[in-house]
Structure 1
Amino acid sequence: MPKLRPLALALAASQPLIAATAFAQAAPTALDAVIVTGTRAKDRTLADTAVPVDVLSREDVLRAAGPDGNLAAALQALLPSFNFPRQSNSGGGDHVRAAQLRGLSPDQVLVLVNGKRRHTSAVVNLESKTGKGTNPVDFNTLPLSAVARIEVLRDGAGAQYGSDAIAGVVNIILDERKTGGELATEVGAFHTKFDPTGQTLTDGQTQSASVTQGWALGRDGFVRAGLEGLHRNATNRAGLDELPPWEDQSADNLATAGRRNYAPGEPATRQWQAWFNGAADVAPGTRAYGFGTWQQRRSLGAAYYRYPDSSANVKSVYPDGYRPQTTGDNRDLQLVAGLKTSWADWDLDVALNHGRNDFDYGVRHTINASLGAASPREFHLGDFGSRLTALNLDLSRELAAPGLARPLTLAVGLEARRDGFVTGAGDAASYAVGSFDAPAGAQAGPGLQAGDATRRGRNVVGAYADLSADLTRDWQANLALRHDHYSDFGGATTAKLSTRLALDRTLALRGAVSSNFRAPSLAQQGFSFTVTDRGDGGTLSQVRTLPVDNEVARYLGAQDLKAETSRNASVGLSWQPGKTWSTTLDAYAIRVKNRITLSQRISRDGLADELLAKFGVAGIDGVNFFTNALDTRTRGADLVTQWRGAALGGDLRLGWTASFNRTTVRGGDGVGLEEINTLTDASPRQRHILTAQWQGGQWGLTGRLTRHGRTTRVFDFGDGYVPTQTYAAVWQLDLEAQVQLTRALALDFGAVNATDRYPTRSSADISYYGNFPYDVLSPIGFNGAYYYARARLSF
């Protein structure tokens, strides 16, 4: 456990701080609200949960989405333990961003929708920093207008939900309002003073609109549905090019110096989303339900600039050089149908869940230089697909228990699931080796070759039992056991014990111990792709990621992947001295064994010739693969305090949330310095969020002040050249004013990062010769201030 003395002092000091501060967390949720995440009991509330759970309302989420306009951005704005950094010039990472909980890997958090498992993205992020090598759930595929509330369980929950819940669980509860509708529209743009070039920039113009409507069905049924659309222009935060020294110092190349040749920033995006949620009684005591979400998103990312006299250029085609653009076509679908009824003394819930994500990856404004001037200018690089089909049976009942304060709650269940991962080859010209003495394959991403396409699947069967008991009026305990069997690597058994003891009417002690696991994803087992990245000395080179069962990977040391396993422990205090104020402080420790990450890049003199001679495979400058090479320990604490009262003729809501965590690594043989940096120092160890909301009559004001902790970036360019830089902590101020013009029409005006703050400027060793003046690590991003206006019409 971390040292708790400073946190205990913070807890003791929180009352006067809250009374004095002008900022706090978003609107507190009623402490008597019943929660459904992390417990099978039907009457657990936010005030008496044995583990930390955050509940975010619909209004919280809609107001916090910011320029991204998506769910993960709202979660980062509201939860200090949630990190959603931007990516740029990161291949697939430009199109699908990864999020973290408690500083752990993006694929170590389980995402549920209405309590049902969400499928993962098809994209494996190989060129991103955060989440490198993972294909987690894409939060951006979940429509904002569909959210009724979000419950975030900050504790291991593998014994309750199965694989992936090492860091915790995010459960998105969909809107169930039976009547009425809402039409919303928003416009916004970045407007910033960009010091690296001395310019004032306005870009990233965004327009979005959504409509929702509810209909009553029968006596107590409903259908709620919605449609959303979004269009966002790209941003560009490139510095002035200084021409890397390994490029030809020709007159044409030198003429590009001092220009903005690169384009780090937000990708251009167009997307449509639709959703529905419904339920109706089909017989006395029997209720059918169903819900679904759909999205199609097209995005355009940026890649590295190729200079006029580069070997990667055909000058007759691009006399001034060129900057390739990566393209992504992301299609996502989840459909769930279920039935709730009674059987004997049991409440029964049976559901069929199907989800899929398909991603078509491409690149345009590029060339395969080895094909010369005859090369296409646009390439399809590959198709990627993720599949999940699950059948769940959940039963629960109360059992009389003499001597206990209340009946026991017993829940048991079964899950049968089919996971799938598929890839398809790109255009033949995207990986062809032409007759010209020049780099082969499409620049900014050689396509997936026919021999690398894969189709993998596995069957999963799981069973659990969950027992919840109030041992006395003041003491509750919960025990869960689960076993899952995977057809491709075997079984895993997990357990969890949590308890809460009320010390008096205002103060309670709570804690939990659990074992958890994460199965290696099918993508990590079977993914093969080639990316263009910075290699030795910072020069661009082609690095190939190979499946662990590939003969080249085996030759270089790859082994079969094992499941990650964890041991989690937490202890906390919950203090509610009155109806208007509550504070919780929870400390935790998480040990993860056999953590899966990418191996270090294997590259050496003569490797390409060696692999060509032995396996007949050409053009490999470097190789990496997934490995269970290290163990980690994460220790931290979360503080949440909130207050509500009357002030200035209105209702004032204040609070303070903070997250502290640190990850250390044990082992690590075969894992590069960059990957260890990703796991330990690349995300903030501390974040604080202070927000105030005031509502008086038709006016409302919101202010949020966030302190993002420092981060550290490490590059390993070989031969002992390891540029390293720590980016200082930075404060971010978000402001919003709301006015209710009529009962039906409301207007909001706001600014995200209103003071136009940026991270620390990158050093010369890391800024890639002036082209990337800011790194992607800081959660404040590198786009500057964003201003927006929103209108909402209820009907």
Structure 2
Amino acid sequence: MRRLLLLLMGVVCIAFAGFAQTRSVSGMVSDQSDGNPLAGVNIVVKGTNLGTSTDTNGRFTIDVPNTANTLIISFVGYTTQEVQIPAGNFVAVSLVPSASELQEVVIAVGSRGPQRTITDTPLPVDNLNIRDLTSTGQITFDKTLQYRVPSFNTVNTPVNDATSLFDPYEIRNLGPSRTLILINGKRKNLTALVYTQTSPGRGETGADLTAIPIDAIKRVEILRDGASAQYGSDAIAGVMNVILKDRYEGTSVSVNTGSTLKYGGFGYGVSYNSGGNVGTRGFINYHASFQHQELTNRKDKIDPDRDFIDLTDGSLNARNGVNAFLARFPDGLNKNGTPENTTARFLINSILPLNDNTEVYGNAAYVYRKTNSFANYRQPYWRIDQGLLHKRIPGAPDYTGDDYTGGPNGAAVQAAFAADKAAGLYEGYIGYQPTFDGDLTDYNATIGLRSADLGGWKQDISLTVG
């Protein structure tokens, strides 16, 4: 028993002796370019998991084993250094800024990294492949991004006139004209539509993201921060680079369909993607698709008191007209929802090698879209038609009010209305429904020639139209 006790005491003494064989090392880390101290620099004892970081004054203290003789000093944007521990146990280090690390964001935008989001760069970069996009279940490119990209937003605005042709989008609450859209690294054309209604991006225009078919995309690279210094003022919100499918790997056909539970909106679509390879580097990849979406109509009951206050002259006739009309048509005959939409797309992407160092590349796309949307219904107590859109039904209810003097010709309109009302013209008048029929044709094409390693230079000349 005594021998066992002595053995245990010996082990404890050896352990304490081992723990005691350390020494304290301190130091300071600064920027070589200006001499300022660096906070948050990583200090690691080489060959161990012991480490610390510098304080706000660039200073640090760490206990290291007596056998350790090297510290690893690293910091983002600076070249990593290995420093020998001197006999005085004080280390003074000046880190050299690393130009290659500061330019990582440029490399990342065109990288082929498989990770979802690149977070070890100065700016966040999202890398999405086709599986990331199709797994959202959405049928348009802009809607897939809304489900996959933080700070990206697109809004469906079915009663905002031409906005129904395609929804405005934004990154970090900056409008569509503030995000640069690239196709294979080349700028995509802007649309001719300027958002004039009270929707996101009012007064701006942007590229039509819905014109890019999902099945033709290989991956998407998104820089979610300002890059105007490199790309120009249209990249204040960020940059989106859409990489199209290239080498032919097989033909694909996809079919989609769906509908809301009780508000209509039945839709269906079919897409076809195929192509062929030319030699070891060349290819032709093409895509064709068709999509149709029927109208959705989510009708809700209208509050008579609110319509009376907001839309009428406040007269007794107007009050009676509102109550009678909404008793007959509780939803006010409004049609609220996604408009009917039909879209056809064609896209081709190709590279043809001329020799080992030179190739011709190009891509082109054509989109046709037709949409039919509805504005708010003009109830008879809100708007009159002066007999142009209806026929009188003698003895039918008159839902109009007394005063329609709004507008530049208000007095003349009011005088004509009073005479028409007295003659019974508005008996049976139930208002009218403005509609917006939109036709969109969008095309873009890029053709270019690039070569590499010609006397140490790389050349790329291209023409993009749209």
Q: Tell me whether 1:163 sits opposite 2:233 in the alignment.
A: yes
Equivalent position of 1:573 in the other structure:
none
TM-score normalised over the length of structure 2: 0.62
Q: Tell me whether 1:341 sits opposite 2:451 in the alignment.
A: yes
Deviations 1:345-388 (A, max 9, x none): 11111111001xxxxxxxxxxxxxxxxxxxxxxxxxxxxxxxxx
Equivalent position of 1:278 in the other structure:
350
Distance 2:220 2:319 in 1: 57
Distance 1:351 1:36 in 2: 26
Deviation at 1:267, TM superposition (A): 1.0
Is the 1:58–1:147 contact (alpha carbons within 8 Å) kept by the matching residues of 2? yes
Is the 1:306–1:313 contact (alpha carbons within 8 Å) kept by the matching residues of 2? no
Deviations 1:531-585 (A, max 9, x none): xxxxxxxxxxxxxxxxxxxxxxxxxxxxxxxxxxxxxxxxxxxxxxxxxxxxxxx
Equivalent position of 2:275 in the other structure:
214
Q: In proportion to residue count, which structure has more helix?
A: 2
1:181-580 residue pairs with structure 2 within 5 A? Answer: 181-191=251-261, 201-243=262-304, 244-245=307-308, 246-247=311-312, 249=318, 254-257=323-326, 258-308=330-380, 310-315=382-387, 317-318=389-390, 319-342=429-452, 343-355=454-466
RMSD: 2.4
Is the 1:267–1:299 contact (alpha carbons within 8 Å) kept by the matching residues of 2? yes
Deviation at 1:55, TM superposition (A): 0.4
Deviations 1:696-723 (A, max 9, x none): xxxxxxxxxxxxxxxxxxxxxxxxxxxx
Equivalent position of 2:408 in the other structure:
none
Deviations 1:454-507 (A, max 9, x none): xxxxxxxxxxxxxxxxxxxxxxxxxxxxxxxxxxxxxxxxxxxxxxxxxxxxxx
Distance 1:181 1:341 in 2: 30
Q: Tell me whether 1:91 sits opposite 2:161 in the alignment.
A: yes
Q: In proportion to residue count, which structure has more strand?
A: 1
TM-score normalised over the length of structure 1: 0.37
Deviations 1:291-323 (A, max 9, x none): 111110111111121223655414462332111
CA 1:37–1:270 in 2, change beyond 3 Å: closer, same or farther?
farther
Equivalent position of 1:751 in the other structure:
none
Q: Which structure would you say has the larger Rg? A: 2
Equivalent position of 2:135 in the other structure:
63
CA 1:72–1:38 in 2, change beyond 3 Å: closer, same or farther?
farther
Deviations 1:136-155 (A, max 9, x none): 11211111111100000112
Deviation at 1:250, TM superposition (A): 7.4
Equivalent position of 1:760 in the other structure:
none
Deviation at 1:36, TM superposition (A): 11
What secondary structure is seen at the aligned counterpart in 2 of 1:93? helix
What secondary structure is seen at the aligned counterpart in 2 of 1:51? coil
CA 1:264–1:211 in 2, change beyond 3 Å: closer, same or farther?
same
Deviation at 1:54, TM superposition (A): 0.4
CA 1:284–1:177 in 2, change beyond 3 Å: closer, same or farther?
closer
Deviations 1:110-161 (A, max 9, x none): 1111111111121111113222221111211111111100000112112222
What secondary structure is seen at the aligned counterpart in 2 of 1:249? helix
Is the 2:360–2:449 contact (alpha carbons within 8 Å) kept by the matching residues of 1? yes
Distance 2:135 2:109 in 1: 31
Deviation at 1:51, TM superposition (A): 2.3
Q: Tell me whether 1:72 sits opposite 2:72 in the alignment.
A: no
Equivalent position of 2:215 in the other structure:
145
Equivalent position of 1:482 in the other structure:
none
1:628-647 residue pairs with structure 2 within 5 A? Answer: none
Distance 1:36 1:212 in 2: 34
What secondary structure is seen at the aligned counterpart in 1 of 2:131? helix
Deviations 1:98-120 (A, max 9, x none): 11111222221111111111111
Residue type of the alignment partner of 1:151: E
Report runs of 4+ in structure 1 exceeding 6 Å deviation.
40-44
Deviation at 1:47, TM superposition (A): 7.0
Residue type of the alignment partner of 1:235: T
Q: Give aligned pairs, total.
A: 310
Residue type of the alignment partner of 1:39: I
Is the 1:37–1:115 contact (alpha carbons within 8 Å) kept by the matching residues of 2? no
CA 1:322–1:43 in 2, change beyond 3 Å: closer, same or farther?
closer
What secondary structure is seen at the aligned counterpart in 2 of 1:104? coil
CA 1:219–1:128 in 2, change beyond 3 Å: closer, same or farther?
same
Tell me, which stretches of 5 or more residues in structure 1 are unaligned?
Answer: 1-34, 192-200, 356-795
Is the 1:71–1:144 contact (alpha carbons within 8 Å) kept by the matching residues of 2? yes
Tell me, which stretches of 5 or more residues in structure 2 are unaligned?
Answer: 1-102, 391-428
CA 1:331–1:65 in 2, change beyond 3 Å: closer, same or farther?
farther
Distance 1:323 1:207 in 2: 27
